[in-house]
Structure 1
C-alpha cells in the first residue's frame, strides 16, 4: 500500500540536503534533510513491521535484511562505479585513499571512518567523495539493531498467553516504549558530547548520538501506521478535515525549510535540540501526510512527485561526489546543472531497471520480455567496463594529498632543524658552564632575525617562508593552539634561541580563552623582542567563531603595546578568494600564489614592526 503524499516527505529531505551541499553559505542548516530521511525511514520500516506482525503474527528477520540489502547495496555500488570515471576530470588529490573510502562505504562504516580521519562536509581541504555515505552507515546500523530487537520482541510475544488482538496492542506498546527509551538516550548523548567542542563532526557522524530520529519515526509508527492503524488513530482520521490538514502539512514543510536558514553545523544549539526539533516536526508532517491520504481517496499523487521520491535515494548517492568534481571545473550553477543532468538519469536507471533485475523481477517499465536479454547484456558490459575503470582509479590513487605531502615534508625539515637547534643548545650550555667556571658570566644577547611560530597554515608554506623571509626560522605544526604556541615560545626563549622579531601565526585552532592565553604570552615575552601577530583566516568563519574573535582582539593590541605589530592575513586572504577555491577555506598548501601572498603579509608585518621599539 503506497501512501499518497509521503513522496513530499522524501522530496523535502532531498531538496534540503541538495540545497545545503550546493549552496552551503546561503542555506547552512540544510543538513537536517538527512534527519528528515532518518525520521521517515524509522517510521516506514516500523510501520511495515507492525503490518507484517498484525497480519501474520510473524516477523521474518532474514527476509527483512534481504529487502534492505536489495534496496541499499545495488544503487550504492552503481553510484560508486559511475562516479569514479569522472575523477579523471580533477586533481589526483580527490582520489587520495579512495580505496579506503569505498571499503568504508560498502562496509557501512563511513561514519566512523570519517571520525577516525577527521572528516567533515565543512572542514576538509579535499572533501572525501563518499563522505555522504556516513548517513547510510547510520541507517544500516539502525536496521540491523532494530531488526534484531523486533525479532526478539516477536518471539517474546509468542510466549505470552494473549489473544491475537491483545498481542498487536502489546506489540505496538512495546515498540513505543523501546523507541522512546532509545531516542531519549541518543538525544542525551548528543547533548552531553557537544560540550567543549570546536568541531562537532564526531557527534554528528556517530550512530550512538545520531540515531534518535529513527526512533522518533518508530515511535510515530507505533501510534499511527500504514495499513493497520490503531483504533485511536482511526478515530483521529475519521474526525480530520481537509483544509486544516493541508495547512498543517504545509506549515510543517515551511518550518523545516526555515530551520535550514537558521541552523548551523558548528553551533552547539544544533546538537542541544536543533536536530531533535527537525525530527519532531518531520514526525508531525508524516502524521499529517498519512491523514491527508485518507482525506483524498479520489486524488492521485502528481507523477513528478512520485518520480522524485522514487529516485531520491540514488540521487542522494550521486549528488555529492558529482558536485565536488564538477565544482572544480566550473562555476557553482554549472556544476549543479551537470550534477542533475547526470545524476537523475542514472538514478532512474538504478531504481526502475537495475534494482528490479537484480531482485529477480521484471522491470515494470519494460513491457516486452524480448528486450530483457539485450538490456541485461548491455548492463553487464557497461558494468564490467566501469569495474575496470574503478580498479584502475583505486590502484593508481595517491596515498597523500599535496597538502599532506607538504606538511609531511615540513615535519621532516623541522625535525632536522630541531636536531640542529638541540646541538646549538648543548654547545651554548657548555660555553655557559665554562664561563661560570671562569666566573665571567656574559650577558645573554638576543639573536637577530625572525622566529616564526605557526600552525598548519604556516607548516604548509614553511619552505617558501624560510626562503623568502630573511634570516628566519620556522616552527610550525598542525592543530597548534595558543597554549601550545606559548610552550614553544617559552622553550625557545629559555634556550636563548628566540630571535629579536617573533612572528606568531596562531589562531586557526582558537579555543575559548585564546585571548587570555595570548595576553599571558605577551607578558611572559622577555624584553628585547618585537611581536608580529598574523591574524588567523577561516573562510567559513563568522563573528561567532573563536578565530574571528581572536583576530579582532589582536588588532586592538598595538594600541596597548608599542612592540606589537599586526600582519593582517585575515584581510589579505579575503582579497584573494581564488587561493582557497575548492579548499576548506583555511589552507592553501600546494598553491604557489598562496605561498606568495602569505609571505608578503609576513614581510609587510616585519617591515612595519621594524619601525617600532622592542619590548622594554
Structure 2
C-alpha cells in the first residue's frame, strides 16, 4: 500500500539538501533535509513492522535486513561505479584517501571514518567525494539496532496492542537519550562535526519517526487515531497542517547554521518534529482523498530521491571545480536525475530479480548479465587504478603539514638560542631589532603561506596553526608576551574559524596586550562566507576598531581577496598555500598594514 502525499516529504528533504550543497551561503540550514529523511525512514520502517506483526504475529528479522540492504546497497555501488570516471576530470586531490573512503562507504561506517580522521561536514579543504554516505552509515546502524529490538519485542509481546505500546515507549526513550546526548555535547564543543556524524547523538530523528509510526501506521492504525481522523479532520485541515509544517522546514533550512550551537541544541529536534507532523498531515490527507490521484511528477521525484542524493554530492564536488556554481549545479542535477532514473527504474529491479518492460520488450536479469559484468569489471579496474594513484593527504593538507613541521623546527631552534648565555645588555640600550620586528599569530591560512612570508619579510616571528580561533590566539599572545618574545608589532591573522563570541575574544586580546606595541588585525577571508557568517561579521567589526583604539591598524585581506577572487580558482576559496600569486597579495596586505601602523602611536 502506497500512501499518497508522502512524496512531498521526500521531495522537501531532497530540495533542502540540494539547496544547501549548491548554494550553501544562502540556504545555510539545508542540511536538515537529511533529518527529514531520517524521520521518514524511522516512521516507515516501524509502520511496516507493525503491519507485518498485525498480519502474521511475526517479525522476520532476516527478511527485514535483506530488504534494507537490497534497497540501499545496489544504488550505492552503482553510484560509485558511475562517479569514478568523472574523477579523471580533476586533480588527484579529489581522490585523497580514496581506498579508505570507498571502504567506509560500502561498509556503512563513513560517519565513524570522518570522526576518526577529523573530517568536517563543511570541509574547508578538499571535501571527500563520499562524505555524504555518513547518513547511510547512521541509517544502516539504526536498522541493525532497531530491527533487533523490534524482533525481541515480538518475542515477548502477545498481541498488536501491547506491541504498539512497547514500540512507542522504546522509541520515546531512545529518542530522548539521543537528543539529550546531542544537547549536552553541544555545550562544550567548538567543532560540531563529531556530534553531527555521531550515531548516538544524531539517531533521534529515526526514533521520533518510530514513535509516529507506532501510532499512525500505514495499514494497521491505532483505533484512537482512526477515530480522530474520521471525526475531527477534513481535507482542508489536513492540507493546511501538512503545508504549514513543510513551510516551517524550509524556514529552518534558511535560518539555521551548521556552526551555531543552537542548531544542535534545538534545530535538529525542531526539524524532526516538523517532519513528523508533515508525515502525519500527509497520512491524514491520504485518507481524506481516496479518489484523488497523486501527480506523477511527485511520485517520480520521490522514487529517485535516494539515488539523486547519492549521485549529486560527488558530481557537484567535481563539476564545481570546473564550472561556475550555477552551471555546476545544473549539470549535476541533470546527470543525477538521469543516473538515478536508470538506477531506480531499470538496474535495481533487474538486480532484485524483477523483469522490466521497455516498450514491448521485457528484460530480465539474464539479459544484462554480460554488459553489467563488463561495466562492473571496468569500474573495479578503474577503482583499483585510482586507489593506487590516490594520495593519502591533499596537496593543501601536505602544505599545511610541512608548514607546521617547519614552524616546530624554527621554534625549537629559537628556544635553543634563547637558552644560550647572553652578554649583559647596556643600560642605555634603545629598542633592539627584536622589539622593532613583527610577531604574526595566524590560523591555517597563515600557516599555508608561512614559508613565503618568512622568505620575503625580515625580523618576523610567525606562529600559525590550523583551526585556530581567537581564544587560542590569545593564549599564544600571552605566552609570547610573558616570555619576553613579543615584538613591537603584533599581527593577528585570525577569524576564518570565528565563534559566536568573537567580539569578546577580540576585546580580550586588545585589553591584555601590554603597552608599547602596535596591534594589527588582518581581516579573515572565507570565499564561501556571506553576511550571516561569523568570519564576515568579524571583518566588518574589526574595521571599526581603529576609530576606538589609535594603536590598532587593519589590514583588509578580505577586501583584497574578494577583489581578486579569480585567483582562487582551483582552491577551496579560502586557503592558498603553495600559490605564490595569492601569497604575494597576502604579503603585500600585511606589509601595507605594518607600514601604516608605524605612523600610529603604540599602546600607552
Which TM-score applies when normalising by structure 2? 0.92
1:233 counterpart = 2:219:
no
What residue number does 2:291 align with?
Answer: 298
Q: 1:506 aligns with which of 479, 487, 494?
A: 494
The Cα of 1:456 is off from its aligned counterpart by 1.4
The SS at the match of 2:329 is helix
Candidates 253, 258, 280, aligned match of 2:251: 258
Per the alignment, residue 176 of structure 1 pairs with 168
Q: Determine the C-alpha separation between the residues in 2 that align with 1:110 and 1:46.
A: 25
Larger Rg: 1
Check the 8 A contact 2:356/2:362 in 1, yes or no. Answer: no
Q: After TM superposition, give the deviation of residue 483 of structure 1 in Å.
A: 4.4
Listed one character per residue, the Cα deviations across residues 18-40 of structure 1 (whole Å, up to 9, x for unaligned) are: 12211222222222211111111
SS in 2 for 1:451: strand
Q: Does 1:431 align with 2:422?
A: yes
Query: Aligned residue for 1:578?
Result: 566
Against the structure 1 CA distance between its residues 175 and 365, is the aligned structure 2 distance closer, same or farther, given a 3 Å change threshold?
A: farther
Does the aligned pair in 1 maintain the 2:351–2:365 contact within 8 Å?
A: no
Measure the CA separation in 2 of the matches of 1:371 and 1:256. 41
| Equivalent pair of 2:215/2:222 in contact (CA under 8 Å) | yes
Task: Point out where structure 1 has 5 or more consecutive residues left out of the alignment.
Answer: 159-166
Q: What is the DSSP-based 3-state SS (H/G/I as helix, E as strand, rest coil) of the residue aligned with 2:521?
A: strand
Deviations 1:9-65 (A, max 9, x none): 211211221122112222222222111111111111111100110111111101100
The reply on whether 1:245 has 2:238 as its aligned counterpart is yes
Corresponding residue of 1:21: 21
In 2, Cα distance between equivalents of 1:156 and 1:574 = 65
Does residue 446 (structure 1) correspond to residue 432 (structure 2)? The answer is yes
How many Å apart are 1:221 and its aligned residue? 1.2
Cα 1:241–1:589, aligned 2, differ >3 Å: closer, same or farther? same
CA drift at 1:185: 1.8
Decide whether aligned partners of structure 1 residues 280 and 553 sit closer, same or farther in structure 2, where only a CA change above 3 A counts.
closer
1:95 alignment partner in structure 2: 95
Shift of 1:441: 6.7
Higher alpha-carbon deviation: 382-391 or 577-586: 577-586
Matched, 1:394 2:387: yes
- Contact 1:425 1:495 survives alignment (8 Å): no
What is the DSSP-based 3-state SS (H/G/I as helix, E as strand, rest coil) of the residue aligned with 2:440? strand
Shift of 1:517: 5.3
CA distance in 1, matches of 2:6, 2:549: 64
Change (3 A) 1:251 1:483: closer
Q: Distance in 2 between matches of 1:111 and 1:363?
A: 35
Q: Counterpart of 1:63?
A: 63
> Greater CA deviation, 85-94 or 572-581?
572-581
Contact 2:5 2:285 (C-alpha < 8 Å) held by counterparts: yes
Shift of 1:372: 4.8
1:475 alignment partner, one of 442, 463, 467: 463
- How many residue pairs align between the two structures? 601
Give the 5 Å matches for 1:112-123: 112-123=112-123
In structure 2, the CA distance between the partners of 1:560 and 1:291, relative to structure 1 (3 Å rule), is closer
Report the 3-state secondary structure (helix = DSSP H, G, I; strand = E; otherwise coil) of the residue aligned with 1:153. helix
Distance 2:431 2:344 in 1: 75
In the alignment, is the contact (CA less than 8 A) between 2:124 and 2:574 conserved in 1? no
Residue 213, structure 1, aligned to residue 209, structure 2: no
Name the structure 2 match of 1:320: 313
Name the residue aligned to 2:77. Answer: 77
Is 2:188 the counterpart of 1:192?
A: no
- Kindly provide the CA deviation profile for residues 331-377 of structure 1, in whole angstroms up to 9, marking residues without a partner as x: 22221221122222221222222222322333355864576534221
| Alpha-carbon distance in structure 1 between the residues aligned to 2:278 and 2:549 | 59
CA contact (8 A) 2:25 2:530 kept: no
2:578 counterpart of 1:590: yes
Q: Indicate the SS of the match to 2:405.
A: helix
Offset of residue 108 of structure 1 = 1.3
Determine if contact 1:122/1:584 at 8 Å carries over to the other structure: no
CA distance in 1, matches of 2:187, 2:570: 30
Structure 1 residue 574, shift from structure 2 partner? 3.0
Residues 74/512 of structure 1: CA separation in 2 closer, same or farther (3 Å cut): closer
Q: Equivalent residue of 1:452, what SS? A: strand
Of the three residues 574, 589, 594, the one matched with 1:601 is 589
Q: 1:138 to 1:228 in 2, by over 3 A?
A: same
- Give the match for residue 157 of structure 2: 157
* 2:361 is aligned with 1:375: no
In the alignment, is the contact (CA less than 8 A) between 2:524 and 2:536 conserved in 1?
Answer: yes
Question: Structure 2, unaligned stretches of length 5 or more?
Answer: none
User: In 2, Cα distance between the equivalents of 1:16 and 1:556?
Assistant: 36
Q: Given the alignment of the two structures, is residue 340 of structure 1 paired with residue 333 of structure 2, yes or no?
A: yes
